[in-house]
Amino acid sequence: MDRKKVNDIQLKGFPRDISLWIILAVCLVLGHLSNNNLILSAVLIVIVGCFILINIDKKINLLFFLIPWTYILRSEPGTRTIFSYLTVGLLFAISYKSKLSFNLKKISYITMLIILVLFQKLIIGRTISFDEISLILPLTTLSLIKGKWYNLFKWDEASLAFIFGLFLSIIAGLILYKAPHMVDYFRLNYAVKGQGVGLRFSGVHMDPNGFGAQAIFGCSLGIILTNQTQIRFKKWFNKVLNIMVLFIFIAGFFSGSKAYFFVSIVMLILYIVLLSYKKGVYSGGKFIFIIGLIIIVGYVLGWWKPLITRYTARFMNADNLDALSSGRNVILKMYFKMFTIYPWVIIFGTSLDVVGLHSAAHNTLVQSVTRLGSIGFLIIILLLKETYKIINNNTIDNRDRDSAWIRLMPLLMYLLMSLSLDLLFKLEFLYIVFLGVFIAAWFKPLK
């Protein structure tokens, strides 16, 4: 199928879909606000029903919309979020809809990964957990797909769904964070001892840093959507999209995440370079002027006072690398020491459900090597490579090769955030990485 024809039919029906999702989101918030299990259960049943009835590309869009809502997609605290079950349902739907390619290379990778996991379980005497299945099953399924990806997945719709979902989840967080019973669903008052930073906003996410990672990815998607040639949005929609992305960008700073602070600066610099290179120095200068104007107006009106207080408190106490990294540097040293004492961990790992030390690594790369070993980590990279090759083989070659870094921006920004977080077992991790990989293969930059 010609790619241009594919793009002509994209976004068809999307406004209707997003309208339905907004209604469901409002009902979900009302159910949590009233602490009414009946309403919550009804909303969750409707979401599952919609998921079952809609086409596979719409299923994917719905799940990307729901990613920021994961932690409150349940009727009672402590129960598993329905997002987990919808993910399993999506994988079965993809497997049924598309053809699977069982070549020797892929089968060998999958077999080696399964043998490694079973070997780990045999050594430590445990059974495979649901979290492990939710990591291994998507990796293996996606790497085996042979069908045409544009029949299954529309990157622009999925990106818009994620941005809309994140934007609305931030509003929901502003509404729900004052409800005391919501403390069992997501983090409400996250204060760092001795730093006086007060509330660290996290939308409806359990972790302010995890929320920051989603925010940085959402902003990167906004940059991509406004610098692509496949779909031309109407001017009013472009303005709405820009407002949502700006709102998400600012909300990310209220998480109080130092990682978000640094990565957002890197993202802004890259975006300014992108504008200047693609549209001229005037466009880059205009963007800098707008950002400067927003900062000045916000400062005069007192909007940034909580942010200034928060980050001043965080950075004033960071008189060395250990303090600047909130102790992460110390933890990484502990992990590296463990690697030297127990070198077999680097090779075989400790098992997916064994932390390795008393503290989490706070680094997805170190977490992956610790849990899976270098063998398992390499297999995952190879499976992702196979997925990339499948996607790339279904795209056209008419692509601006000099702007590869533009296509890599969402994935790169998210992976930079992952260096200060444990994201391997977060439900959104593989979705976001997959979308980043898909854009890297599919995206055609603005000329």
Residues facing residue 228 across a β-bridge:
445
pLDDT at 390 over 50: yes
Q: Angle formed by the axes of helices 130-144 and 104-124, to 10°? A: 170
30-84 per-position pLDDT tens digit = 999 888 888 889 999 999 999 999 888 889 899 999 999 998 998 888 788 899 8
- Residue 21 counted as domain residue: no
% the chain with pLDDT above 70: 80
- Residue 130 counted as domain residue: no
- Residue 43 counted as domain residue: no
- Residue 105 counted as domain residue: no
Helix, strand counts (H, E) of the chain: 19, 0
Element (H, E) at 69: none
- Residue 180 counted as domain residue: yes
Using the Cα atoms of residue 32, residue 36, residue 37 and residue 43 in order, give the sign of their dihedral. Answer: negative
The pTM assigned to this predicted structure is: 0.86
What are the tokens at 218?
């959402």
- Residue 37 counted as domain residue: no
What's the average model confidence in pLDDT over 195-203? 65
pLDDT at 434 over 80: yes
Read off the pLDDT band of 362 (50, 70, 90): confident
Q: Do residues 198 and 191 lie in contact, with contact meaning Cβ atoms separated by under 8 Å?
A: yes
pLDDT at 191 over 50: no
Q: What is the largest CA-CA distance in the chain?
A: 64
Q: Do residues 221 and 159 lie in contact, with contact meaning Cβ atoms separated by under 8 Å?
A: yes
pLDDT at 194 over 70: no
- Residue 301 counted as domain residue: yes
Q: What is the DSSP code (8-state) at residue 198?
A: -
What's the domain range around 180? 91-99+145-317+395-442
What's the average model confidence in pLDDT over 316-339? 68
d(CA 35, CA 178): 13
Number of domains in the chain: 1
Read off the pLDDT band of 320 (50, 70, 90): low
pLDDT at 356 over 60: no
Buried b (16+ CB within 10 A) or exposed e, 98-119: beeeeeeebeebbeebeebbee
134-151 per-position pLDDT tens digit = 777 787 777 777 656 555
- Residue 260 counted as domain residue: yes
pLDDT at 411 over 70: yes
One-letter amino acid of 54: I
Q: Do residues 366 and 335 lie in contact, with contact meaning Cβ atoms separated by under 8 Å?
A: yes
d(CA 120, CA 140): 19
Q: CA torsion 268→273→277→283, rounded to 10°?
A: 50
Read off the pLDDT band of 29 (50, 70, 90): very high
Give the residue, 351 or 370, on which the prediction is more confident.
370
pLDDT, averaged across the chain: 78
Residues 6+ apart with CB under 8 A from 317: 194, 195, 323
